[in-house]
Chain A
Amino acid sequence: MPFGTGENSSIEKQSEVRELGDWKDEVEEIVFPGKISVPYSWTVGSTLSKWYAQIRDDAEIWANKCAECGMVFVPPKIKCINCYRDMNEWVKLPGTGTVETFTVVSYYEPKIHPRKPPFVYAVIKMDGADTGLVHFIGGVKPEKVKVGMRVEPVFEKERQGNILDIRHFRPIA
């Protein structure tokens, strides 16, 4: 059932109709530059707010533990991903961990990268937790970073209550 009826097509009879078979080969393609910039305010939620407050105020990294399966999560979870249970047991981690995997980033995207390359991202298996934390490795030449390396956090002096309050993880001397 077509919506349009083509009632106005009789107009064509009065105006000039030109058949331009090859117009697509000749058309000058126009491109509009554009940019979308929209401010947001993301609510952090009680679980991560508690986590960030402990990093900001006490320079401590906490995790939470599922009472059913015993899995310890860092960053903390609202609910256990295995058991879908509320997480009310909090555990203070020593902050140390082991590099499970890493990458040395050589390209630079100034809009998203908070630091200039080369820099190192790693998944750090945190001591006392069952999960990994994604963060920077610093205080070491990128080519010296290894899987299995033991690391500890370096906190910023001025902390805002976000993930960058941890400047990076550095090798344990």
Chain B
Amino acid sequence: MERVAVIGVGQTKYEKGKKQNFSEMVYEVTTKALKDAEITTREIDNIVSVSSDFWDGRTISCMAIQDAAGAFGKDTSTVEGDGTFGALYGMMRILSGSFGVTLVVAHHKGSESSMSGITNTAFDPLVERKLGIDAISSAALQARRYMTATGVTERQCALVSVKNHGNAMRNPLAQLPMEITVEDVMNSEVLASPLKKLDCSPVTDGACALVLAAEREAKKLSTNKKRVWLMGVGHCSDAYRLGDRDLADTRALEEASESAYEMAGVGPEEIDLAEVYDAFSYMELMWLEGLGLCEEGMSGEYMERGYFNMGGEIPINPSGGRLSSNPVQVAGLSEMAECVLQLRGKAGKRQVKGAKIALAHGINGMCGQSHCVFILGR
């Protein structure tokens, strides 16, 4: 099968209360990604945009940013979900043989609306929505279920927040770089037990764009220094209703990651760094097990041993993760951008030395209903 490469990346700074509107953010990252790829809109054949109508407060929100994405007069299509699924769709379009160089661009402005109100509408209006459940309260149900099933402690989860906010200190794009302690996390305001404020990701604005190209075009347009290959991808979904799942079970992620490893022809032991979807601190520990990056129920202990720290066995979320900046939908795409920078050796002060293979993991739906896993390599 032909390979697909990332030949350009562009990101905004991730922050709350951005002055730019949706289009201005998309202009910024599209321009940056094209400049990074050293191409112009003329070389872009088609565009995949990623956004959510509810977050944007307008229907067909993808259409409104098409000028900004350089899609005027071109083929364009949309994914409403995490950015990893947008990259997956872009990759599939290229592999179909019908599309050339593809721009994947995601935008999000969490600070313009209500996180609680919007995530509540993700629940079934016929059943759970009336209870008022939202992203934080449903995650709290999953957090306790995971802790009960595995014995992982709140303090071990707090370590994830300490590590990721600390990593963000070395990422100029991150929203919340902070030197904090486990005590700070444990003493932060309880939102929905066992989740405290510092176990939860912030409300963030930002955008990210990737330029994807098939092997032949990638080699023509870009240099070896810039190119990063999408070696493997896998995706899988679990049941919609929370009660139909065991919330501590990571079966969908196991399926997704196994197919990604198989396609890439590598195993979890070969991963040099990973960007894992830590919308909440416990999620990083849970997903690390589902990704096969540590044995089941052991991630808390590994975290204590510094296994996932910068300089540890496998640095997890060197960017600072979603705990430090969480532009929903954009998040997974920004993880891939971070992997690209790391694999190019251009991640600045947070560079994982000698990184050759990286993993990016996105989720869609409440409590990680579906997962998309990418393996990227030089």
Please provide the chain B residues from 235 to 270 with a CB less than 8 Å away from any CB of chain A in the complex: 239, 241-244, 247
Does B133 sit within 8 A of A, measured CB to CB?
yes
Of A34, A105, A122, most B-chain CB atoms within 10 Å: A105
Q: Are A36 and B72 in contact (CB under 8 A)?
A: no
Shortest C-beta distance, B218 to chain A (Å), equals 23
Interface: B132 (CB within 8 A):
yes
Is A45's CB under 8 angstroms from B126's CB? yes
Q: In the complex, what residues of A have CB within 8 A of residue B128's CB?
A: 134, 163
| Nearest CB of chain A from residue B285's CB, rounded to whole Å | 16
- Which residue of chain B lies nearest to A111 when distances are taken between CB atoms in the complex? B117
Contact in complex: A147, B73 (CB < 8 Å) = no
Interface string of B58-74 (1 = CB under 8 A from A): 00000000000000110
Q: Nearest CB to that of A106 among chain B residues?
A: B190
A17 within 8 A of B: no
For B87-127 the 0/1 string (1 means CB < 8 A from A) is: 00000000000000000000000000010110010000111
Do B116 and A109 touch across chains, with their CB atoms under 8 A apart?
Answer: yes
The answer to whether A123 and B131 touch across the interface, beta carbons within 8 angstroms, is no
Kindly identify, within residues 23 to 63 of chain A, every residue whose CB is under 8 Å from any CB belonging to chain B: 29, 34, 36, 40, 42, 44-45, 48
For the complex, what is the distance from the CA of A42 to the CA of B134, rounded to whole Å? 20
Select from chain A the residue with minimum beta-carbon distance to B242: A134
B178-200 CB mask vs A (1 if < 8 Å, else 0) is: 00000000000111111100000
List residues of chain B with CB within 8 A of the CB of A79: none
B142 / chain A contacts, CB cutoff of 8 Å: 101
Determine if B192 and A104 form an interchain contact, defined as CB atoms under 8 angstroms apart: yes
Is there an interface contact between A134 and B140, defined as CB atoms closer than 8 Å?
no
Q: Which residues of B contact A152 (CB under 8 A)?
A: none
Partner of B73, one of A1, A45, A131: A1
Interface magnitude class on chain A:
35 or more
Nearest-neighbour CB distance to chain A for B279, whole angstroms, equals 16
Q: CB of B223 within 8 A of chain A?
A: no
Please state if A163 and B239 are interface contacts (CB–CB under 8 Å): no
Most B-side CB within 10 Å, residue of A3, A107, A164? A107
Distance between Cα atoms of A34 and B112 in the complex (Å): 10
- Residues of A within 8 Å of B116, CB to CB, are 109, 111-112
Query: Beyond A42-B125, A48-B127, A131-B241, is A104–B132 a contact (Cβ under 8 Å)?
Result: no
With A75-B241, A112-B116, A135-B131 as contacts: A101 and B192 at CB distance below 8 Å: no
Q: How large is the interface on B (under 10, 10 to 19, 20 to 34, 35 or more residues)?
A: 35 or more
Q: Are B137 and A102 in contact (CB under 8 A)?
A: no
Bound-complex Cα distance A163 to B242 (A): 15
B54 to chain A: closest residue by CB:
A36
* A81: interface (CB < 8 Å): yes
Q: Which residue of A lies closest to B195 (CB)?
A: A103
| CB–CB B191/A36 < 8 A | no
On whether the beta carbons of A48 and B57 are closer than 8 Å, the reply is no
Are B117 and A112 in contact, with the CB atoms below 8 A? yes
- Quick check: is B145 within 8 A (CB to CB) of the other chain? yes
Q: Write the chain B residue with the least CB distance to A75.
A: B127
What per-residue 1/0 map shows which CB atoms of A81-121 lie under 8 Å from chain B?
10000000000000000001111111101011111000001
**Are B144 and A102 in contact, CB atoms less than 8 angstroms apart?**
yes
Contact A81 B239, beta carbon cutoff 8 Å: yes
Q: Is B343 an interface residue (CB 8 A)?
A: no
Decide: B192 and A107 in contact? CB cutoff 8 A.
yes
Cα distance A89–B73 in the bound complex, in angstroms: 54
In the complex, residue of chain A having the shortest beta-carbon distance to the beta carbon of B142: A101
Query: Which residue of chain B has its CB nearest to the CB of A47?
Result: B126
Collect the chain A residues with CB atoms within 8 Å of residue B140's CB: 103, 105, 121
B197 CB to closest chain A CB (Å) equals: 10
Distance from A38 Cβ to chain B, minimum over Cβ atoms (Å): 10
A136 at the interface (CB under 8 A from B): yes
A133: CB under 8 A from chain B? yes
A163:B141 contact, CB within 8 angstroms: no
B residues near A131, Cβ cutoff 8 Å: 241, 243-244
- Inter-chain pairs besides A103-B143, A107-B192, A123-B145, 5 sampled, C-beta below 8 Å: A81-B244, A101-B144, A102-B141, A105-B191, A132-B244
A interface list, Cβ under 8 A from B: 1-4, 29, 34, 36, 40, 42, 44-45, 48, 73-75, 81, 100-107, 109, 111-115, 121-123, 131-136, 147, 162-164
A to B CB contacts below 8 Å, 26 in the list:
A2-B73, A34-B57, A42-B125, A75-B241, A81-B244, A101-B144, A103-B140, A103-B193, A103-B194, A104-B190, A104-B193, A105-B192, A106-B191, A111-B117, A114-B130, A114-B131, A114-B132, A121-B131, A121-B133, A122-B141, A123-B242, A134-B128, A134-B133, A134-B141, A134-B242, A164-B131
